[in-house]
Amino acid sequence: MSHSLHSNIRCSSSSSSSASPIPRLNGARKSNIAVLQKFEETKERIKKMFNNVELSVSSYDTAWVAMIPSNSGQHPFFPQCVNWLLENQHSDGSWGLPHRHPLLMKDALLSTLTSVLAMKRWGVGEEQIDKGLSFIEENIASAIDEKQCSPIGFEVIFPTMIDYAKKSDLNITLEPSNHNDLVHNRKVSLERASGSYSEGHEAYLVYISEGLGKPLDCERVFKYQRKNGSLFNSPSTTAVAFTNHGNADCLKYLCSVVDKFGSAVPTVYPLDIYARLSMVDNLQRLGIERFFKEEIRSVLDETYKYWLQGEECVLLDASTCAMAFRLLRVNGYDVSSDPLIRFSEDYIFNYLGNHTKDIDAILEIFRASEIIIHPNESILEKQNFCTSHFLEQELFSISTRGDKLNKNIGKVVSEALKIPFYANLERLASRRAIEYYDTDSTRILKTSYCSSNVRSKDFLILAVEDFNMCQSIHREELKTLSRWVVENRLDKLKFARQKLAYCYFSAAATLSSPELSDARISWAKNGVLTTVVDDFFDVGGSEEELVNLIQLLEKWDVDVSVDCFSEQVEIIYLALHGTISEIGEKAFVWQGRSVTNHIIEIWLDLLKSMLKEAQWLKYETVPTIDEYMKNGYISFALGPIVLPALYLVGPMLSEDVTRHPELHYLYKLMSTSGRLLNDIHGFKRESKEGKLNIVSLSLLARGFGSGSSSEEEIINEMKSAVNGKRRELLRLVFKEKDSIVPRACKDLFWKMSQVLHLFYANDDGFTSNEMINVAKAIIEEPIIENKLRSSEEGCASEEISNWAKN
DSSP string, 611-657: HHHHHHHHTT----HHHHHHHHHHHT--HHHHTGGGGGSS----HHH
The C-alpha atoms of residue 111 and residue 83 are separated, in whole angstroms, by: 16
Of 471, 470, 494, 495, nearest in space to 9 by CA = 471
pLDDT value, residue 694: 95
* Model pLDDT for residues 278-334, shown as the tens digit of each residue: 999 999 999 999 999 999 999 999 999 999 999 999 999 999 999 999 999 999 999
- Dist CA 734 CA 149 (whole Å): 41
Q: At 14, is the pLDDT very low, low, confident or very high (cuts 50, 70, 90)? A: very low
Q: Output the CA torsion sign for 641, 781, 515, 575.
A: positive
Is a pLDDT exceeding 60 seen at residue 798? no
More confident residue, 409 or 61: 61
For range 698-704, the mean pLDDT: 87
> What local confidence, expressed as pLDDT, does residue 409 receive?
87
Segment among 9-23, 167-181, 305-319, 721-735 with least mean pLDDT: 9-23
Which pLDDT tens digit goes with each residue over 63-118? 999 999 999 889 999 999 999 999 999 999 999 999 889 999 999 999 999 999 99
| Count of CB atoms situated within 10 Å of the CB of 788 | 17
Of 13, 14, 42, 17, the residue nearest 27 (C-alpha):
14
At 619-674, the pLDDT tens digits run 999 999 999 999 999 999 999 999 999 999 999 999 999 999 999 999 999 999 99
pLDDT at 351 over 70: yes
Minimum mean pLDDT range among 258-272, 428-442, 615-629, 781-795:
781-795
Quick one: CA dihedral 454, 460, 466, 467, positive or negative? Answer: positive
Q: What is the mean pLDDT of the chain?
A: 91
| Residue burial 120-142, b: 16+ Cβ < 10 Å; e: rest | bbbebbeebbebbbebbeebbeb
C-alpha closest to that of 128 among 175, 94, 173: 94
What confidence score (pLDDT) does residue 170 get?
94
- Looking at residue 25, its pLDDT comes to 44
CA distances from 316 to 68, 225, 231, 334, 641 (A): 27, 11, 11, 19, 44
**Cα 265 from Cα 236, distance rounded (Å):** 9
CB-based burial of residue 483 (10 Å sphere; 0-12 exposed, 13-18 middle, 19+ buried)? Answer: exposed
Report yes or no: 442 and 449 within 8 Å, Cβ to Cβ.
yes
Q: What confidence score (pLDDT) does residue 13 get?
A: 31
In whole angstroms, give the CA distance from residue 24 to residue 365.
Answer: 42
Enclosing H/E stretch for 778:
helix 772-779
Task: Identify the H or E element spanning 46.
Answer: helix 29-49
> What does the CA dihedral 553, 554, 558, 560 come to, rounded to 10 degrees?
-40
Instruction: Note the pLDDT of residue 762.
Output: 73
For range 266-271, the mean pLDDT = 97
Q: What percent of the chain has pLDDT over 70?
A: 91
Maximum CA pair distance of the chain?
Answer: 107
Q: What is the band of 791 on the pLDDT scale with cuts at 50, 70, 90? A: very low
Q: Please give the share of the chain, as a percent, with pLDDT higher than 90.
A: 80
Residues 704-758 pLDDT 10s: 766 666 899 999 999 999 999 999 999 999 999 999 999 999 999 999 999 999 9
Cα radius of gyration (the chain): 31
Who has greater pLDDT, 507 or 775?
Answer: 507
Q: What is the pLDDT of residue 400?
A: 55
The string of pLDDT tens digits covering residues 310-320 is: 999 999 999 99
pLDDT at residue 205 is higher than 80? yes
Q: What are the pLDDT digits (tens) for 575-623?
A: 999 999 999 999 999 999 999 999 999 999 999 999 999 999 999 999 9
The type of residue at 790 is S
CA 752 to chain centre: 18
CA 734 remoteness from chain centre: 17
What pLDDT does residue 16 have? 35
Q: What is the mean pLDDT of residues 250-265?
A: 97
The answer to whether the beta carbons of residues 110 and 149 sit under 8 Å apart is no
Bridging pattern class, strands 443-444 and 448-449 = antiparallel
**Cβ distance 317 to 339 under 8 Å?**
no
Residue 736, class by beta-carbon neighbours within 10 Å (0-12 exposed, 13-18 middle, 19+ buried)? exposed
**12-46: burial string, b at 16+ Cβ within 10 Å, e else:** eeebebeeebbbbbeeeeeeeeebeeebeebbeeb
Q: In this predicted structure, which of 164-173, 468-477, 705-714 has the lowest mean pLDDT?
A: 705-714
